[in-house]
Amino acid sequence: MQAEDLRFEQVLDILERLYQRGNRLVVLEGGEPMLWKDGPYSIHDVVAAARKKFFSVGMTTNGTLPLDVDVDTLWVSLDGLEATHNALRGAPIFSRIMDNIKRSQHPRLFAHITINSVNAAEIPELIRFLQHKVRGITVQFYYPYNHQDELFLDFDRREKLLEEIIQLKRTGFPVLNSFAALQALKRNTWRCDDRLIDNANPDGSITQGCYLKNRADIDCSKCGFSPHTEISLACQVNLQSILAGQRIFF
């Protein structure tokens, strides 16, 4: 939800419509949700309103502002170690993000890594680096929006990297993706079941299903959206994915 384009009343309306549609979990994303403001209202007011309705409220942020929002689950997006993250983001922000992570007292502060062809080689090192700095780590893969393939990681390298991540998880590193989802993502051997997903759009509309609807061309063969993988497997009664969802959101 690109809330910076919406008035507070519109945000409240979207939250109510999501609730009436049966949603009981909401994740605030961007743009950058921490920048949202409407007169006297800030993102803290949005979070307070959401917490009155939903069992669990999450947020994904770029981590450049203080990590002081009262959400149940807070993800900080990290694209690599310092040089790589700064290059991919186009700004020297890595040290500020790590300072904010260090200062944060949030009990469910997670790192979220989007893996691409540039950062793939250092993902195992990044996971080791983050081990004692955050409570958990989730990974997904870059999707080539509108055929922009230069950052897309081919499936041979994806499979090899996922095996390394699986081994790190087995040895105790705090990777929160389930083993089932990590295995399924190797060659996209999973059936998408996205009926439980609603997406709020910048114009206030709500789209059911794939995040890419009305945003980009959809090529399911190149999907790397691990949350969709996990939800789909959970809908198909995969116990590992059900337990992963509980650990992440509750």
Pairing of strands 73-77, 109-115: parallel
Place of tokens 């116990």: 239
Q: What is the pLDDT of residue 2?
A: 42
Average pLDDT for 208-214: 91
Look at residue 4 and tell me whether its pLDDT is greater than 60: no
Give the mean pLDDT of the chain: 95
Q: For 189, what's the count of Cα atoms within 13 Å in the CB-facing half-sphere? A: 9
Q: What angle do CA 72, 78, 83 make, to 5 degrees?
A: 155
Task: Specify the number of domains making up the chain.
Answer: 1
Tell me the torsion sign for CA atoms 111, 115, 119, 121. positive
Instruction: Specify the amino acid at residue 137.
Output: I
The confidence band for 96, taking pLDDT boundaries of 50, 70 and 90, is very high
For the record, the structure tokens of 201 come out as 């759009």
Look at residue 120 and tell me whether its pLDDT is greater than 80: yes
Q: Residue 219 sits in which domain range?
A: 3-249
d(CA 49, CA 147): 38
Contact 58, 27 (CB under 8 A): yes
15-64 per-position pLDDT tens digit: 999 999 999 999 999 889 999 999 999 999 999 999 999 999 999 999 99
Q: What is the pLDDT of residue 30?
A: 85
Q: What is the pLDDT of residue 169?
A: 98
Q: What is the pLDDT of residue 1?
A: 40
Q: For 17, what's the count of Cα atoms within 13 Å in the CB-facing half-sphere? A: 15
Beta strands (DSSP E) in the chain are 25-28, 37-38, 41-42, 56-61, 73-77, 109-115, 136-141, 198-200, 206-208
Average pLDDT for 205-221: 92
Average pLDDT for 126-143: 98
Instruction: Decide: residue 230, CB within 10 A, 0-12 exposed, 13-18 middle, 19+ buried.
Output: buried
Contact 64, 51 (CB under 8 A): no
CATH number reported for the structural domain that contains residue 177 in this entry: 3.80.30.10
Which of 55-69, 126-140, 175-189, 198-212 has the least mean pLDDT? 198-212
Q: pLDDT > 90: what percent of the chain?
A: 90
Q: What is the pLDDT of residue 148?
A: 80
- Concatenated DSSP letters of 171-227: TT--B-S-HHHHHHHTTT-S----TT-EEE-TTS-EEES-TTTTTS---GGG---HH
Instruction: Decide: residue 31, CB within 10 A, 0-12 exposed, 13-18 middle, 19+ buried.
Output: middle
